[in-house]
């Protein structure tokens, strides 16, 4: 019989005449020891004549009266926490917001989701938040309703609201801002038969707010020698420029006219052929129109070609999803699925001159990407954690041209915010804001309901059904991260350039919502 009686010594304690059956797995014996000592089997080490007992087989000589040595300590009984844990279902809205570090939501005051979504998207721009913080109310402004409807009133109200949102992470009721908006833009205060506010077009709200800020927020300066001058902060950070050429297709001898046009957003036109945002944007760059020809003395067809000669740091793209239907008297929605990228490259939309200026920074991006691929290939046998630990320390590089603060010096953008619409017309349905929080984590701002979402959820906003459809996209600058050693070498070449890069790098921190 493979049954024996053994003694076990554990620290100062001894256990006599314990039965052992070597036909059973050693784990059964360890379970007996656990019952006697409280030492978990996975924490036990059983020794006999220097040999350690395995879990699967009896690999040591056992005989009656043998003494085995047990090593191991039993786990302490968990103490009841001083502060008892609180479960998600027991938390109120404010406690949930604090636990998940979610930003403040905005209460819907009756079909005001268009305003709430717009504000959340605009607030994602760190430079705009900082510019509003620095804004001071001007003395001697207009009084009465004229003063309340002024750009100054809107700007101050947005400043106060954003500061309130920064201090809190629960729901905020934007009554004062809504009042200022209604006074400045009476069409937004229209009510229906039941007395509630009518739904409004979020892109119209977006555009009107930028025009108000355009009049009050001054342009920022990078250095005294900055050569590119801007009339306002909005023109500087959100404004781009087209080089436009008009050519009469019916009179080849007529000289082409050239001009410049400023823009605060690009339009993505939607036709039967368009499936991707990039192709929709290209439709805007080549158009045909009819106008008076001085050489022919009559209306003629002209070809209009537009190319971007100045890219802003923050590029707004509007999907032209609404078309007016006179019979129904509504702006009907085009539900077509239009794919948009998380990383957007505007290089092909630019003039040859701007493309040449963008090349140096684009080359650096490619060098870093190639180095990352090489590092990954060399470490293909290493774990993800090991590769992460071996990543070199990096510093962000400026994303603006040295002589043009608020520009984009590479043509590369990263999606930062999405304003969506759910419904069949611009004057009905529901608007929601989606803002990048950190890395690939996003926040959905459904009025005062704020919740985290992943990047896959953002890509599903391309349209094609009754789900939320992307209406306005806000792209921020893609920031180049250079290894510290590389950055030091570049900085050593030109002290003045290094100083400017340092200023730009501070500006070029990765975007996140507070």
Catalytic site residues? Answer: 113, 430
CB distance 117 to 433 below 8 Å: yes
φ/ψ of 320, rounded to 5, equals -80, 80
Give DSSP secondary structure letters for 168-182: --S-B--HHHHHHHH
CB distance 432 to 442 below 8 Å: no
Closest among 445, 442, 353, 440 to 401, alpha carbons compared = 353
CA angle 495, 497, 500 (to 5 degrees): 115
36 Rama class: left (phi>0) / alpha (psi -120 to 50) / beta: alpha
Give DSSP secondary structure letters for 403-463: TBTTB-SSSEEEEEEEEEEESSBTTSSEEEEEEEEETTEEEEEETTEEEEEEHHHHHTTS-
Q: Which pair of tokens denotes residue 362?
A: 């684009």
Closest among 193, 213, 76 to 151, alpha carbons compared = 213
What is the C-alpha to C-alpha distance for residues 213 and 233, in angstroms, rounded to an integer? 8
Question: What distances in angstroms separate CA 333 from CA 198, 200, 469, one per listed residue?
Answer: 17, 14, 10
Classify residue 49 by its DSSP letter: T
Closest among 1, 153, 148, 10 to 63, alpha carbons compared = 1
Q: Which pair of tokens denotes residue 141?
A: 């402004």
């Amino acid at each position: 019989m493979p049954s024996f009686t053994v003694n076990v010594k554990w620290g100062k304690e001894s256990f006599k005449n314990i039965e052992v059956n070597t036909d059973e797995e050693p784990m059964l014996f360890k379970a007996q020891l656990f019952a006697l000592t409280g030492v978990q089997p996975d924490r036990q080490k059983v020794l006999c004549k220097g040999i350690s007992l395995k879990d699967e087989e009896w690999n040591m000589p056992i005989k009656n009266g043998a003494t085995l040595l047990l090593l191991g300590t039993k786990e302490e009984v968990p103490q009841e926490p001083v502060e008892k844990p609180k479960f998600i279902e027991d938390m109120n809205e404010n406690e949930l917001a604090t636990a998940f570090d979610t930003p403040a939501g905005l209460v819907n005051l009756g079909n005001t989701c268009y305003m709430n979504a717009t504000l959340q998207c605009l607030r994602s721009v760190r430079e705009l938040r900082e510019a509003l913080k620095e804004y001071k109310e001007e003395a001697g402004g207009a009084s009465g309703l004229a003063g309340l409807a002024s750009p100054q009133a809107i700007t101050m109200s947005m400043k106060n609201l954003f500061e309130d949102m920064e201090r809190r992470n629960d729901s905020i009721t934007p009554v004062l801002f809504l009042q200022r908006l209604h006074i400045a833009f009476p069409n937004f205060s229209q009510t229906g038969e039941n007395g509630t506010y009518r739904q409004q077009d979020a892109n119209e709200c977006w555009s009107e707010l930028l025009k108000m800020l355009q009049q009050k927020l001054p342009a920022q300066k990078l250095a005294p020698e900055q050569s590119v001058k801007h009339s306002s902060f909005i023109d500087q950070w959100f404004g781009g420029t087209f080089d436009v050429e008009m050519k009469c297709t019916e009179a080849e001898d007529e000289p082409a006219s050239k001009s410049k046009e400023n823009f605060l957003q690009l339009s993505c036109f939607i036709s039967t052929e368009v499936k991707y945002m990039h192709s929709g944007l290209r439709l805007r760059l080549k158009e045909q129109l009819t106008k008076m020809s001085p050489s022919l003395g009559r209306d003629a067809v002209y070809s209009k070609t537009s190319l971007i000669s100045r890219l802003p740091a923050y590029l707004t793209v509007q999907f032209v999803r609404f078309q007016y239907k006179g019979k129904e008297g509504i702006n009907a929605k085009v539900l077509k699925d239009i794919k948009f990228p998380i990383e957007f490259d505007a290089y092909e939309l630019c003039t040859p001159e701007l493309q040449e200026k963008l090349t140096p920074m684009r080359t650096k991006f490619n060098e870093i990407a190639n180095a990352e691929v090489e590092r990954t290939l060399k470490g293909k046998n290493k774990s993800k954690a090991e590769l992460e630990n071996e990543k070199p320390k990096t510093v962000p590089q400026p994303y603006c041209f040295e002589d043009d603060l608020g520009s984009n010096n590479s043509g590369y953008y990263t999606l930062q915010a999405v304003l969506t619409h759910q419904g069949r017309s611009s004057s009905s349905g529901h608007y929601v804001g989606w803002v990048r929080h950190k890395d690939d984590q996003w926040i959905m701002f459904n009025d005062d309901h704020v919740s985290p979402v992943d990047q896959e959820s953002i890509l599903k906003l391309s349209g094609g059904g009754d789900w939320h459809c992307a209406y306005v996209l806000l792209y921020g600058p893609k920031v180049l991260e250079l290894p510290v050693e590389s950055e030091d070498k570049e900085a050593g070449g030109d002290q003045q350039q290094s100083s400017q890069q340092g200023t730009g790098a501070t500006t070029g921190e990765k975007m996140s919502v507070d």
